[in-house]
Amino acid sequence: MGLFNTIMGIFSYSDDSDSPSLDPDSPECKGERFENFVIDKFSNNYFDIIERTHSWNTNKKRFVESSLNPDFTLRYRPTKEEFAIECKYRSGLTPDGMLEYCKPDQFIRYKKFMENKKIPVYIIVGFNGDDDDPDELFILPLKEMKYPTLYPSIFKKYGKNPEKNFHWKNGKLS
State yes or no: pLDDT of 57 exceeds 80: no
Query: Mean pLDDT across the stretch 99-113?
Result: 96
Decide which of 66 and 104 is more confident.
Answer: 104
Per DSSP, what are the bridge partners of residue 141? 122
| Percent of the chain residues past pLDDT 70, beyond the cut | 79
pLDDT confidence of residue 13: 42
161 in Cβ contact with 124 (< 8 Å): no
pLDDT confidence of residue 30: 87
Domains of the chain are 3-9+25-173 (3.40.1350.10)
Give me the helices (H) in 26-142, please: 27-39, 56-61, 104-117
pLDDT confidence of residue 89: 95
Query: Mean pLDDT across the stretch 166-172?
Result: 96
Spell out where the chain has E strands. Answer: 47-52, 72-76, 81-90, 99-100, 121-130, 133-141, 149-150, 159-160, 168-169, 172-173
State yes or no: pLDDT of 20 exceeds 60: no
pTM for the model: 0.83
Start-to-end CA distance of the chain, whole Å, equals 22
